[in-house]
Amino acid sequence: MLGLELIVVLGVALLLCGALARRYPVAPAILLLVAGIVIGFVPRFREAQLPPEVVLLVFLPALLYWESLTTSLREIRSNLRVVVLTSTALVVATAGAVAWVAHARGLPWGPAWVLGAAVAPTDATAVGVLARALPRRTVTVLKAESLVNDGTALVIFAVAVGVTVGQETLAPLHLTWLVVLSYAGGILAGLVVGWVSSTVRKRISDPTLENIAVLVTPFAAFLLAELIGASGVLAVVTCGLWMSQSAPRITSAAARQQMVGFWSLATTVLSSALFVLVGLQAQSAVRNLRSESYQGAVVDILLVGAVVIGTRWVWTYTTPYVIRFFDRRPSQRARRVGARGRMVTANAGFRGAVSLAVALAIPQRLDSGAPFPGRDLIIVITCGVIVLTLLQALWLPLIVRAARLPRDTSVDEERKLAETTTADAAYDAIDEVAADLGSDQHVIDRVRHEMDKRRRLLSAADEGNDALVQHHDQYTALRLALLARERETLIQLRDERQIDDIVLRQVQARLDLDEVRLSRSAPAE
């Protein structure tokens, strides 16, 4: 019954924390983390564990795939140098700095590097949840960094663990081969699975079957990469970016509507549950600490947390100036971010469940049979660093205001361009398409009238014609109110047994589609 009880408790925690986050200016992730710690005080739930394979093989592919599908490939290309450097060099620098401090505190070099690998990467879920209100370029760079840097950290982790347990050597050629295999193999696996998925989905007309193919895709990419010893993380990210470009051409409207609803709900539940489980696991890790005193562990957490956060700040305020010295092209000058604006990026290095999963994946024993040195302490420090980095979200709004970032209107401007251009293209093609379909003249006139009304509304929004916009708003409000009356009448017919529940659901589906269409029909402001 523990599993069922935990599901109910997680659901209640998600609801309560979500409600509190709407009422008070506290990030939901922090509330969920605290909820997990509180749940850990219940003796019944102290048996609950967060298996690392569940995070790495179930949660991670799904979350990374959705984040990849919903990020901007254009912005990634524009900021590719920054993304590559922060997801590789910064991870290595952070892991190295943490390893040096951990070794100075008494950990052998191997376990010290294991700890560095665990806390070095930012978490895509945490970044996606906590930094979504930032300007598009900032969010894209942060998300892209967190999507890719897991692969770098896992390579460091595998080498450090292998050397510690006695299965690996630090031969330069061998290390180079591991890095090349991880990156090149992961990218290739993602491209192969993306191409296969696109080809299969082109031949599927049933929305449910198509979404089953979508659901399998990230796990297939991760599996293929793991089979060849490459990075499953990079495979999923590459596959997601590939599908973000090809899916709009091959996905039907019904399948897309179903997919967006399912993935939005599923990833929200998964990511929220992860924060609760991280809090639960953090308390469990503290209770199981044996190799260090609690006072010593607190000192270690503060030191490692300071190194993790400090390394990111140092990186953010040094590397841009080095790059500027060598690259003085006008196109790059136009993309430069001032020192004040870089405060936001420096403060957004959130860690999450991936770091904890990496720490929990440390083997219990070496090849010699001896216990893995400092395993329990590494897990405690990792949990503490996750908490410290997530707490940065508390003052992120203050830093955003202090940074005085210019208001990002690019999304609104591009949406207006897309709405206007597509409406004009469709309007100009009415006669040609109607001739091909053999449409009657009164049908053509009706469609032209509706599309002309839509074009006038878009033009009015651009020109500030408040009267026309107000007229449209009143029309939408009236139609929504009448839909509510239709729904009441429909339910009354069911209650009076004049229609069956099956009929109710069929008609209700049509009313729901009309309501969603009307709710989204207002032009972008």
What pLDDT is recorded for position 524?
41
What is the widest separation between alpha-carbon atoms in the chain? 85
Distance (Å, rounded) from C-alpha 396 to C-alpha 385? Answer: 17
Q: Are residues 249 and 167 in the same domain?
A: yes
301: domain range?
2-408
Task: Choose the final residue of a domain: 408, 441, 473.
Answer: 408
What pLDDT is recorded for position 357?
87
Q: Which residue type is seen at 140?
A: T
Q: Are residues 150 and 225 in the same domain?
A: yes
**pLDDT per residue over 128-184, tens digit each?**
767 666 777 788 888 888 888 888 898 899 889 988 887 666 677 877 888 889 899
Q: Is the dihedral of CA 262, 265, 267, 270 positive or negative?
A: negative
Residue partners of 225: CB distance under 8 A and separation at least 6: 185, 186, 189, 190, 231, 232, 234, 235, 236
More confident residue, 400 or 110: 110
What pLDDT is recorded for position 433?
92
What pLDDT is recorded for position 525?
40
8 Å CB contact between 118 and 358: yes
Q: Are residues 304 and 326 in the same domain?
A: yes
Q: Are residues 392 and 431 in the same domain?
A: no
Helix locations, 228-369, DSSP H? 232-250, 253-287, 294-316, 319-326, 330-333, 342-347, 353-360
Nearest CA among 426, 427, 415, 422 for reference residue 462: 415
Percentage of the residues of the chain whose pLDDT score is greater than 90:
35
**CATH code for position 14:** 1.20.1530.20
Q: Are residues 443 and 387 in the same domain?
A: no
Domain count along the chain: 2
What pLDDT is recorded for position 94?
96
Is residue 211 a part of any domain in this protein? yes
Is residue 524 a part of any domain in this protein? no
Place of tokens 């892209």: 144
Residue 329 Ramachandran class (φ > 0 left, ψ -120 to 50 alpha, else beta): beta
8 Å CB contact between 270 and 8: no
Nearest CA among 382, 280, 273, 275 for reference residue 48: 280
Is residue 288 a part of any domain in this protein? yes
**pLDDT per residue over 269-312, tens digit each?**
988 888 898 888 888 888 888 888 889 999 999 999 999 999 99
Is residue 451 a part of any domain in this protein? yes
8 Å CB contact between 391 and 30: yes
More confident residue, 58 or 126: 58
What pLDDT is recorded for position 226?
92
Q: Are residues 108 and 220 in the same domain?
A: yes
* Per-residue confidence band for 522, with pLDDT thresholds at 50, 70 and 90: very low
* Per-residue confidence band for 452, with pLDDT thresholds at 50, 70 and 90: confident
Q: What tokens does 431 get?
A: 């006669």
Torsion angle in degrees (nearest 10) through CA of 140, 143, 144, 146: 160
Percentage of the residues of the chain whose pLDDT score is greater than 70:
94
Is residue 365 a part of any domain in this protein? yes
Name the least confident of 80-84, 116-120, 322-326. 322-326
Is residue 525 a part of any domain in this protein? no
Mean pLDDT, the chain, as a whole number? 86
Q: Are residues 442 and 391 in the same domain?
A: no
Task: Choose the final residue of a domain: 358, 382, 408.
Answer: 408
Distance (Å, rounded) from C-alpha 386 to C-alpha 127? Answer: 12
Q: Are residues 354 and 438 in the same domain?
A: no
Q: Are residues 355 and 446 in the same domain?
A: no
Q: Are residues 315 and 356 in the same domain?
A: yes
* Per-residue confidence band for 498, with pLDDT thresholds at 50, 70 and 90: very high
pLDDT > 90? residue 227: yes
Let me know if 420 is exposed, middle or buried by CB neighbors in 10 A (0-12, 13-18, 19+): middle
* Per-residue confidence band for 210, with pLDDT thresholds at 50, 70 and 90: very high
Phi and psi angles of residue 205, each rounded to the nearest 5 degrees, phi first: -105, -15
Rounded mean pLDDT, 96-106: 95
What pLDDT is recorded for position 166?
74
Distance (Å, rounded) from C-alpha 495 to C-alpha 492? Answer: 5
Q: What tokens does 22 get?
A: 């709407």
8 Å CB contact between 389 and 311: no
* Per-residue confidence band for 89, with pLDDT thresholds at 50, 70 and 90: very high
What pLDDT is recorded for position 297?
93
**pLDDT per residue over 368-398, tens digit each?**
888 899 999 999 999 999 999 999 888 888 8
Q: Are residues 385 and 244 in the same domain?
A: yes
Q: Are residues 256 and 115 in the same domain?
A: yes
pLDDT > 90? residue 466: no
Q: Could you give the angle at the alpha carbon of 47 between the alpha carbons of 45 and 51, nearest 5°? A: 110
Rounded mean pLDDT, 18-29: 84
What pLDDT is recorded for position 168?
63
Q: What percent of the residues of the chain are helix, what percent strand, and what percent coil, each to the nearest 5? A: 80, 0, 20
Rounded mean pLDDT, 100-115: 94
Task: Choose the final residue of a domain: 369, 389, 408.
Answer: 408
Distance (Å, rounded) from C-alpha 441 to C-alpha 38? Answer: 68
Burial of 163-187, coded b for 16+ CB within 10 Å and e otherwise, reads: bbbeebeeeeeeeeebbebbbebbb
Q: What is the residue-wise DSSP string for 400-460?
A: HHHHTPPP--HHHHHHHHHHHHHHHHHHHTHHHHHHHHT--HHHHHHHHHHHHHHHHHHHH
